[in-house]
Structure 1
Amino acid sequence: MSMLKLIEDFPNHIIEGIEIANQTNFTNTKNNIQNVVLCGMGGSGIGAKIVSDWVRSEADVPVTLVADYFLPDFVSENTLVIASSYSGNTEETMQALEEANSKRANIVCICSGGKMQGFCSENKYDAIIVPSGRPPRSALAYSIVQILNILSAYNVISDNKAESLKMASELLKKDIDAIKNKGNELAEFLFKKVGIFYSEPQHEGVIVRARQQVNENSKYLAWHHTIPEMNHNELVGWGGGDKRFAPVFFETDDVYFRNEVRYDISKKAIQEKCGEIFIVKSKGESLIEKAMYFIHVIDWCSYYLSELNNADIIDIAIIDHLKGELSKVK
């Protein structure tokens, strides 16, 4: 399946993810969960980052992200560990899972098969199996929906957000022409420049996704930062800014009023250095709708930018080389 088709189908993936969630039966959700750890790397892990942004103000226990081989020391039998590896073979995540198992944590996994499915079968943990045969970065919707469903099943959040997710899918389908146009405009803005993505903290996962998609799909470098944090460091760095850089501000209609002032001042200061800035405004009512809108614009942008860059959107040869070399190290 082509990346173009996978990007086109993103709204449908949301609905398919909900159908998978509705068919999932968890074996044990009655434990006294005192904290949550979300494990995952790259395209398999970005869903965890996005969801953690969404549930920060709702979850009644701490939610920690792990993109590493090792778990925090606090992990115990009262920890819910959610591990996501699309292939089921991500070595960092698998090592973290072994540690979680040794600490008798509550474990739920999301994968399309691989070693992770075997690990869950052997140790009698729940494994949610998502459709296989695609690049991990194109399976984001499945990951997001399953993580929300797990958190709801374990009473970390009040519900699995299925209605907001359905509304997001409908919005993306309804507004597809505007989304593609904005994605194309953003790609043209980024072409032959280094993209720098800014948002409020509640959408940091979204702009991490933007950086990842530009990296993998478009073969471009980029970085990201959040407002207000960038006002305490990076804003000064823009004293050395110039037209090599392409600053992009992701904005919603419910920005915190003090951050709105920060946005305005930051945009003016940055534009004086690089000449142009680009603004992506989201649509939708809920946080989830707005984030999914951003994500779809980003994905389309990465496709159009890969075309401008004459890049193979699927190719990740350097990552495959890295994994091959690591496999030799015992």
Structure 2
Amino acid sequence: MAERLDDIKGMRSLDPSGLLDQLNAFPDQLEWSRGKAMPDLSGASKVVICGIGGSAIAGDVLIDLLSPSISMPLLVSRDVVLPGFADQDTLVIVASYSGNTAESLDQYHDAMRRGCRVAAVTSGGKLEELAIKNSQPMVKVPGGNQPRASLGYLLGSLALVLQRAGLGKLHDELLASVPSLRSFLDTLAPDVPSTRNQAKRIAKAMSGRVPAIYAPRSVRSVALRWQGQVNENAKMVAFSGEIPEMDHNQLVGWLEGGTGCMCRPVLLMPSEMRPTVRRMAEVTLQMLNERGLDPVFVTLPGDDLLKNVLQGIALGDMASYYLAVLKGVDPAPVTPIKEFKARISQ
């Protein structure tokens, strides 16, 4: 397996659409939002980010990063209708990379019916048309990528909208983090051998198994991102969950039913945790090891929450890509999703 991961020519042959380059462009995509115009959006009492799939994960990331410091309610809605509290004092940010996502468009129309304030982040499609027609603030990001490979565009743009709405200075902080993120990604590049490449080692540890990826609530978006990338890039079943929630249900399944199954727990740990959560994570790891379940333990790179999240996402993205290489599959196509969308449109 190590030889396959270090065969750069063979790796490129599996990836004719260049998904690897799109994943490696994560820092550049964040940088793209620098200097983009956005009017003052202050005055809302609550914010809802609407999206699904690759367009929603950016909202999850922002909530993880902003939750410790904001007093305003902020949530991600993956539904077709807004939460009942959404009203004229709510800023609704509709994020759809394609601009044609059915769920996001339904929520857009729901926001309009309720008189909410609306902003949009998209590369085009019907959402762009609606935002222009209704003179609503919009960030139009570059198109042509897979939505999941456009996280930097979506993350930077949503952070800009939130900053203009008065929710901290996270957009500025994201831009300041770009150099360290770029340097970290260099350590995960295909030309870095498996012996020194953390993403390749993690891919080998998850290969042939069903990863169940857990993280404390403070970085739950990282575990969710890892799951989605393993699902879509490596074409593998994977699940995600939170510590300590899993200690009150899934732990029983692992300890009393996990031996001999094809699943493997993966624990992602940030550099900082509250003492109670840290102790719970340590005991969880101990119990999994004692039962011979061989958990993959990953200390998220970086020395603060922002670096943990951004570099942790980059690590998972590259690990999922190397998993696809180990399987010998093209990481880019998502044929079942296309089939699903075609069927619901009939």
Give the TM-score normalised by the residue count of structure 2: 0.89
Aligned mate of 1:218, from 224, 234, 256: 234
Q: Is residue 245 from structure 1 mapped to residue 263 from structure 2 by the alignment? A: yes
Aligned mate of 1:90, from 96, 101, 104: 101
Contact 2:265–2:293, Cα closer than 8 Å, also in 1: no
Match of 1:13 in 2: 29
Match of 2:314 in 1: 296
Q: Is residue 135 from structure 1 mapped to residue 153 from structure 2 by the alignment? A: no
Q: Report the Cα distance in structure 2 between the residues aligned to 1:25 and 1:152, rounded to whole angstroms.
A: 10
What are the superposed Cα offsets for residues 14-34 of structure 1, whole Å, 9 maximum, x if unpaired?
2123x2xx22132x524x311
Q: Aligned with 2:306: secondary structure?
A: helix
Q: Aligned with 1:197: secondary structure?
A: strand
**1:139/1:56 Cα in 2 relative to 1: closer, same or farther (>3 Å)?**
same
**1:177/1:131 Cα in 2 relative to 1: closer, same or farther (>3 Å)?**
closer
Contact 1:88–1:115, Cα closer than 8 Å, also in 2: yes
- Once the two structures are overlaid, the 10-residue window that deviates more, 204-213 or 222-231, is 222-231
Contact 2:270–2:305, Cα closer than 8 Å, also in 1: no
What are the superposed Cα offsets for residues 215-256 of structure 1, whole Å, 9 maximum, x if unpaired?
000001111111111111111111211251221111122122
Match of 2:110 in 1: 99
| Residue 289 of structure 1, CA deviation | 1.4
What are the superposed Cα offsets for residues 115-166 of structure 1, whole Å, 9 maximum, x if unpaired?
00001011111111001000000111111111111111111x222342x323
Q: Is residue 277 from structure 1 mapped to residue 295 from structure 2 by the alignment? A: yes
Q: Report the Cα distance in structure 1 between the residues aligned to 2:266 and 2:336, rounded to whole angstroms.
A: 27
- Once the two structures are overlaid, the 10-residue window that deviates more, 164-173 or 101-110, is 164-173
Q: Report the Cα distance in structure 1 between the residues aligned to 2:302 and 2:203, rounded to whole angstroms.
A: 23
Match of 1:310 in 2: 328
Q: Aligned with 2:170: secondary structure?
A: coil
What are the superposed Cα offsets for residues 171-204 of structure 1, whole Å, 9 maximum, x if unpaired?
2222335445111111111111000111110111
Aligned mate of 2:49, from 26, 33, 38: 38
Q: Report the Cα distance in structure 2 between the residues aligned to 1:97 and 1:166, rounded to whole angstroms.
A: 29
Aligned mate of 1:268, from 265, 273, 286: 286
Q: Aligned with 2:112: secondary structure?
A: helix
Q: Report the Cα distance in structure 1 between the residues aligned to 2:188 and 2:328, rounded to whole angstroms.
A: 22
How many pairs does the alignment contain? 321
Q: Aligned with 1:175: secondary structure?
A: helix
Contact 1:94–1:116, Cα closer than 8 Å, also in 2: yes
Q: Aligned with 2:239: secondary structure?
A: strand
Q: Report the Cα distance in structure 1 between the residues aligned to 2:127 and 2:181, rounded to whole angstroms.
A: 32
Match of 1:165 in 2: 174
What are the superposed Cα offsets for residues 47-97 of structure 1, whole Å, 9 maximum, x if unpaired?
011111111122221112210111112111100001100000000000110
Q: Report the Cα distance in structure 1 between the residues aligned to 2:263 and 2:294, rounded to whole angstroms.
A: 9
Q: Is residue 29 from structure 1 mapped to residue 45 from structure 2 by the alignment? A: no
Match of 2:158 in 1: 147
| Residue 46 of structure 1, CA deviation | 0.6
**1:222/1:313 Cα in 2 relative to 1: closer, same or farther (>3 Å)?**
same
Contact 1:167–1:289, Cα closer than 8 Å, also in 2: no
Contact 1:245–1:274, Cα closer than 8 Å, also in 2: no
Q: Aligned with 1:198: secondary structure?
A: strand
Contact 2:50–2:95, Cα closer than 8 Å, also in 1: yes
Contact 2:44–2:90, Cα closer than 8 Å, also in 1: yes
Q: Report the Cα distance in structure 1 between the residues aligned to 2:221 and 2:215, rounded to whole angstroms.
A: 9
Contact 1:241–1:274, Cα closer than 8 Å, also in 2: no
Contact 1:165–1:289, Cα closer than 8 Å, also in 2: no
Match of 1:50 in 2: 61
Q: Structure 2: any 5+ residue segments left out of the alignment?
A: 1-16, 190-196
Contact 2:271–2:302, Cα closer than 8 Å, also in 1: no
Q: Report the Cα distance in structure 2 between the residues aligned to 1:179 and 1:202, rounded to whole angstroms.
A: 24
Aligned mate of 1:61, from 52, 56, 72: 72
Letter in 1 for 2:168: S
Q: Aligned with 1:99: secondary structure?
A: helix
| Residue 310 of structure 1, CA deviation | 1.5
What do you get for the CA RMSD once the two structures are aligned? 1.5
Contact 2:264–2:293, Cα closer than 8 Å, also in 1: no
- Once the two structures are overlaid, the 10-residue window that deviates more, 227-236 or 293-302, is 227-236
Q: Structure 1: any 5+ residue segments left out of the alignment?
A: none
